Structure 1
Amino acid sequence: MGTAEENFEGRTAKEADNSQASVTSLEPIAPANSNSASASDVPLGANENSIHNQDLILQEYRDACQSGDLAKVKEMIELGAINISHDYDEEEMVSGLHWASINNRLGVAKYLVEKGADVNFKGGNLKATPLHWAARYGYVYIVDFLLENGADPTLTDHQGFNLLHLSINSSNIMLVLYVLFFVVGDKISIDCVDPDNRTPLLWAAYQGDSLSVKALLDFRADLRLADNGGFTPLHWATVKGQPQVLKYLIENGGDFLQNTNENKNCFVISQEMHTEHSLTSALLENGFNAEGFPVFKLFKNPKHAKLLTFITPWILIGLILNFLATLNIFVAITFTTLLGCVSIKVLRKFVIPSYNLRQSGSVFLKTPFLAGILFGSIMWVFYVWITRVLPATMSEELLANVLFLAFLTICLGLFGRLVLSDPGRITKEQELGSVRITTKELLRIGKFDTRHFCTDTYKRKPLRSKFSRFNDALIARFDHFCPWIYNDVGLLNHKQFIFFLLSLVSGVICFSIACVEYFDYLEDGSMMDYKCGIFDDDVCAGLHLDTFAFLVLGWALLQAAWVSFLIVVQLFQTFKGITNHELNSASRKRHARDSGNEFFTTTPTDLMDEEELEALNQPALDSEELSHLKPRTCGGVCCALVGLDQILLVMKGFFGGSRNLQLTHSSSRLNFETNYGWRTNLSDFWLLGDTTAPLWQRLLYSQRGFKALLGGTEVDYEKLYTLPIRKFPADEMV
């Protein structure tokens, strides 16, 4: 196993992240070697000694091609100092187009091709073309240009690697997708093999490149094919131990019991490579236990299991409150702890596996359990109100009871709609022709990266959108995933969500007023005085005379407290013209800057604007800044669930604003391009774009399509690629 792993020396995405770095020697671009020799044993060209012996003019020309000095290249060719058909050293055989390609110098490459450079010239000891050199570093713009100008994608280098193999080796998902969209099928087979019978999927699996694995599987790559050693992609994924890659392969039918030529299956390999945990996790997520047998599922229909998960909190809340109301406090706490632990274990083992097999992270966050807690709380409040509070307070607190019933009806109706609502889904593109048009347009404007192209839906990513695993779609004007309604919050249901929160808190306030009157009614009927010290006499009477109702009131007030935090954050964000997701993203950018190529951007400097060039030269984090980055703890998760983390963000540095979403290294405030001034922001969020409709409809109705106001202008959020120009004076900013 050790020798097999040494044979795979593929580069990771972060190793090729700086698209503007000049490559001046041949050694760094040695391809991943599939033989027993290491990559450094098979250089693409000559060593440093041969470089020093080159003609000085050729050296100057090569340096100009590497650095992108187009003026120098033009001067040398047009003055006849360099012959474009023989612009290479006889020993290394590496042309100027090779050097321009591997350094992502699109302007130089275009000029050389225009002057007659051979796009299929094989150079170096590996006999690789400029296309091969560009592909190995993931330079999709260079690859696109060379293919458009006659480069042959079917050619292989000396190691037997073609364009698809080398694209996979770059670990740049944008290049991989480009080759799949434009080359695979027509000119190259998705299952093409190298001399060791290793397919692109096999290479991607070994490299632990989950994005490339997913893309190849989308294009129906055969995961049953084995290399000369009998290793399938699943075997090599087990060697690497990347859980998401293993999950994708098993999900698509990978056989974990298949043996290699040495009679080893995935379980044996995982033991030898110490990747048992990753394999077990992937198996569980696909419905198999650690031994490879199907996991027992109590419910054949996942909807029934979800319904039981949703209903269970109702019962738990009622039982726990009843224990606390009727039993000794220590006995009640003991019973409550036991009941909670047993219920959670039963749900995790017998119910949740019927629809959600995730084992890592907070499992309950992506189940209806928290939504059941919230809805169950509402139902117990309603039960106490209808059976106890209403009969005793109908005459004394008529208004509070009527308002409570109204808010309860609104709250329940909105809850049902939110759970079933479409938050603004933009689903996967099914037409290859449309994907190709989108890709070409993004390449033309220099924006073919994961900031602007969704690698899950194969669509251009609109501004303010985010891909949701929960809905398996891009969500327009994405705000956040809310486990309390078991759905995402986005453009089409955001207003409903805030109305739901407001009706919930308003209902609790009305219930509290009526409940206090009910306790007063109980005190009058008992002919006794009750003193508790911290409560008023009537509330104290409720504690003694109807403990269950008192506890329900306390539980309702607790729910209303954290919901109030959430309302404050949501209303403040509408005031500032931003979403929860944008606030979190900007905060992360403010406190951290990834030194790697997070968005797989390989845009040549020729296509970059001034802002992009400035961002390219910004420094990475220093050690002091890195010390602030901490993994989320259990307490952090709890704060996020009740909105306290957003309150802290607002308090730490949100007050104030400017016109740009440019967070400088020393910035003390979070600034957003979508902040058009508080009047415009509120109008954009709360009013529909249809100005012919009555004001009350514009205010109360939710969006029914992707057209909505932004900056006072109606925009289509499904195709929002640029923000509207501001129409207000600077002093309206907040």
Structure 2
Amino acid sequence: MVNESENTPQASTLADEDQMADPSNNDSQEDISLGDFNDVTSLSSLKAIRSGNENASGNEQANRNDEVEEDPLLTRYHTACQKGDLATVREMIHGKLLEVNNDGDPVEHITGLHWASINNRLSVVDFLVSQGSDVNARAGALHATPLHWAARYGYVYIVDFLLKHGADPTMTDEQGFNLLHLSVNSSNIMLVLYVLFNVVSKGLLDVDCQDPKGRTSLLWAAYQGDSLTVAVLLKFGANIKIADTEGFTPLHWGTVKGQPHVLKYLIQGGADFFLKTDTGKDCFAIAQEMNTVYSLREALTHSGFDNHGYPIKKWFKKSQHAKLVTFITPFLFLGVSFALLSHINFLFAIIILFLFAIATNKILNKFVLPSYGRMGVHNVTLLRSPLLSGVFFGTLLWVTIIWFFKVMPWTFSDKRYTNVLMLVILLLVFYLFGQLVHLDPGCLPEETNHENVRQTISELLQIGKFDTKSFCIETWTRKPLRSKYSSLNNAVVARFDHYCPWIFNDVGLKNHKAFIFFITSMESGIFTFLALCLEYFDELEDAYEEISQKNSKCFILGDSDLCSGLAHDKFTFLIMLWALLQSIWVASLIFVQAFQICKGLTNSEFNVLMKESKAIGPDGLSLNENFNTTPEGFAPSIESGEENSDTVLSPVPGSMIRKPRTCFGVCYTVTGMDQWLAVIKETIGIKDSTGHNLYSITSKIPTNYGWKRNIKDFWLTSDVNAPLWRRILYSPSGSKALLNGTEVDYFKLYKLPNKDVEQGSDMV
């Protein structure tokens, strides 16, 4: 087995093995090290104080060393630094009660600046540095600087301040860890990004710098199971093949941890899973010993390899060809299904179709999906493929074929205008579908210039908003209000509404209006087709009058036109029923979209509102999903127009907790019925499981400027010089649109227009 006491990387421990004030609080921080901590320890005085933990500092300092008498004055000072009591610190320094460059304890020489740094007390750090405190002072058993202490816990604002005031990022502690190593160890992706762009990118540190045991930051991130850090390090050019002194590469240590996403990133990045360590063990042997075989196999399959590490045979040379086959399959499946139901016994046909569906699913998963291109960590499944868009297109094709070859020839003389209307609707739906599949939903361009990224990071730090809510860690851009990152388009989508599997694309700023036209045209087409089919069945009844008299009634349908259709053209009858079934979820989608447009919010924002009741973690603790480490009492340098940028509806803590997926749940979500039910509850004021009245939720919408104003903002483009019909029919071609009657750039929307002022009346 892997000898944990010898091979496990020594973690950057401060004092105790328990976690202390981790700002990210994400699952990648679990079990930072499984190794032996005995050779590298520090006194318990290094433990950070959490907000509200008033008794921690006294107990920690009291136990430093029984042989050293405690200095009450120094204890009071250090406690004030820990708690952020600036008034007391200022009083003691200005009152000459102690000197700022002689404020360390007599045992470990831990200064007030160390204590303020590890507790994220920026105001105290600022004051002490202004009074001449040494930013590079070493203290503790690890001989670490205040910069090291702040970096261990991911405190970006403290690190930024210390670096700007002379802290040396190249210094290492007793374990040989520098700023980059410690930032990675914190598992705070925002600090890792900050260090990469402001230290590594400037050439002050190498992204592949190694600790005394030859371990790089990528190796540490892999062992910690921190997939976000692994991804950004690889994107920054980290070498995936560097091994430590024992021959362990990042993939070896990633296999020890067994985090699937980490393994996927590493394998996609070119890691060699056959490479052996100095003890002759490859990843497969390590996975067996550490019980992480399932994770390794999942990562291999996702990356196009079988369980033994050999490439899976691909039946299609290009990913687009495989997607095209997936897209066309539903058309063939529907045709075969309706043909079987039309010509053989119903129960027998159901059994055959069930087996046919299983076989089709197996074929697609085994022979088609492996040819898809792999990007990111999301597993390639049929629900993440063009399958559902193929279901819609297949339905549309069969409706068109049936109407053109059967229904129209029989009904054109009596329903001429209805048939012309059907033709127009079909052409419109085909056109809109093609546009929505390929149309840009409003993607912000990815930022590749490091200087621009540094500028963005600096601006966000100045206003206290450097977190994943305001900064996209995938595209390195600042997130505008109402936007969201899309893994499908690998971009931030402006005014993001939702991902629609029926068009295999996102719905956002540039295609939302076209989507509304699409679903309303679809619903109109279904009912027009229904009317023509009923007329067609009536014509069939007249044509087969003699047969109809012998068998004039159906079991359920009676002697209606539907009975005639079932009796004389079952295939067309089934196509009509299938189309009518689609009209149910389309109608619910239209209802939900109309409600949201009138309320001035997107589908994504509505989901956030519905999930606010789940904003508390399972233990009653609020989760920090945004990796925000803004110091308490932070006074940002508010830029003009930035003061209310935090009013945007964004994912709340706990909102990403997934429920177990069932077949019914998937259908419920894909058809949009969950949104429909939520809107009904919102409209009539049904209470949720916690007893809160959902009706009051819409009062929290920051983008609701009144239903009339909201409708105008959605349907009118901001081009006041264009004709009214063009403003209504056309979608925004660029990034500008109306919001509260004024033109805003959704690519740079960081402030919402004031609700109290009716703006831009001339824009209407």
TM-score by length of 1: 0.91
What residue number does 2:424 align with?
406
Question: Who is 1:320 aligned against?
Answer: 337
In the alignment, structure 1 residue 550 sits paired with structure 2 residue 573: yes
> Structure 2: which amino acid aligns with 1:698?
R
Residue of structure 1 aligned with 2:541, choices 523, 540, 557: 523
Determine the structure 2 residue equivalent to 1:372.
390
* CA deviation map 1:537-561 (0-9, x unaligned): 2211111011111111101101111
8 Å contact 1:566–1:643 — kept in the other structure? yes
User: Which residue does the alignment assign to 1:217?
Assistant: 234
2:309 counterpart of 1:292: yes
Q: Does 1:68 align with 2:84?
A: yes
**Pairing 1:650–2:711 present:** no
**Matches for 1:84-123 after TM superposition, within 5 Å:** 84-123=100-139
Question: Partner of 2:142: helix, strand, or coil?
Answer: coil
Which residue number corresponds to residue 342 of structure 1? 359
User: Alpha-carbon deviations, 1:370-418, whole Å to 9, x = none?
Assistant: 1111011011111111111111111211122111111111000000011
Match of 1:581 among 574, 598, 604: 604
Q: In structure 2, what is the equivalent of residue 133 of structure 1?
A: 149
Please name the residue that 1:702 is paired with.
Answer: 731
The alignment partner of 1:460 has SS state of coil
Please give the per-residue CA displacement for 1:305-330, whole angstroms capped at 9, x wherever unaligned: 11111111111101100100111112
Corresponding pairs, count = 706
State the distance in 2 between where 1:247 and 1:597 align.
Answer: 25
Match of 2:743 in 1: 714
Q: Contact 2:45/2:64 (CA < 8 Å) preserved in 1?
A: no
Deviation at 1:233, TM superposition (A): 0.5
CA distance in 1, matches of 2:63, 2:367: 68
Q: Give the deviation of 1:596 after TM superposition.
A: 2.5
Alignment of 1:139-154 (within 5 A): 139-154=155-170
Structure 1 residue 515: Cα displacement? 0.7
Distance 1:493 1:145, change over 3 A: same
Change (3 A) 1:216 1:490: same
* Alpha-carbon distance in 2 for matches of 1:11, 1:363: 41
CA contact (8 A) 1:284 1:357 kept: no
Instruction: Classify 1:629/1:439 alpha carbon distance in 2 versus 1 (closer, same or farther; 3 Å).
Output: closer
Matched, 1:499 2:517: yes
1:163 aligns with 2:179: yes
2:276 aligns with one of 247, 259, 275: 259
Residue 508, structure 1, aligned to residue 526, structure 2: yes
Please give the alpha-carbon distance, in whole angstroms, between the structure 2 residues aligned to 1:390 and 1:552: 15
- Alpha-carbon separation, structure 1, partners of 2:645 and 2:509: 29
Q: Give CA deviations for 1:569-617 in whole Å, capped at 9, x if unaligned.
A: 1111111111111111222222332422211010011326899999xxx
- Secondary structure of the 1:718 match is coil
Unpaired stretches in structure 1, ≥5 consecutive residues: 22-29, 657-663, 730-734
Does the 8 A contact of 1:34 with 1:196 survive in 2?
A: no
Selected match of 1:207 from 199, 224, 228:
224
Aligned to 1:3: 5
Question: Is 1:37 the equivalent of 2:34?
Answer: no
**Is the Cα contact below 8 Å between 1:76 and 1:82 reproduced in 2?**
yes
Aligned to 1:459, the other structure's residue is in SS state coil
User: d(CA) in 2 for partners of 1:448 and 1:377?
Assistant: 47
Alignment of 1:413-428 (within 5 A): 413-428=431-446
Give the direction of change, closer, same or farther, for the CA distance of 1:608–1:396 in structure 2 (3 Å limit).
farther
After the TM superposition, which residues 268-667 of structure 1 pair with which residues of structure 2 at under 5 Å, given as runs? 268-355=285-372, 363-527=381-545, 528-529=548-549, 530-532=552-554, 534-535=556-557, 537-594=560-617, 595-607=622-634, 630-653=659-682
Shift of 1:653: 3.3
1:234 aligns with 2:251: yes
Change (3 A) 1:573 1:413: same
CA distance change for structure 1 residues 447 and 613 in 2, over 3 Å: closer, same or farther? closer
1:678-709 CA distances to partner (integer Å, 9 max, x unpaired)? 11111111110112211111111011111011
The counterpart of 2:190, out of the listed 174, 187, 191, is 174
Task: Report the 3-state secondary structure (helix = DSSP H, G, I; strand = E; otherwise coil) of the residue aligned with 1:567.
Answer: helix
Q: Label 1:357 to 1:131 Cα distance change in 2 as closer, same or farther (>3 A).
A: closer
8 Å Cα contact 2:541-2:564 kept in structure 1? yes
Shift of 1:54: 2.3
**Residue deviations 1:453-502, cap 9 Å, x none?**
00001111111111111101111111111111111111111111111111
Gaps of 5+ in 2: 26-30, 47-59, 637-642, 759-764
**Paired residues of 1:429 and 1:435 also in contact (CA < 8 A):** yes
Note the C-alpha offset of 1:652: 2.7
CA positional deviation for 1:633? 2.5
Alpha carbons of structure 1 residues 380 and 612: separation in structure 2 relative to 1, 3 Å: closer
Q: 1:10 to 1:114 in 2, by over 3 A?
A: closer
Amino acid at match of 1:587: M
- What is the CA distance between 1:204 and its match in structure 2? 0.4
TM-superposed CA distance for 1:532, in Å, is: 2.1
Does the CA-based 8 Å contact 1:20-1:605 persist in structure 2?
no
Q: Distance in 2 between matches of 1:720 and 1:707?
A: 10
What is the root-mean-square deviation in Å for CA atoms of aligned residues? 2.9
SS at match of 2:263: helix
Work out which of the residue numbers 41, 49, 52 in structure 1 matches 2:63. 49
- The answer to whether the 8 Å contact 2:43/2:64 transfers is no
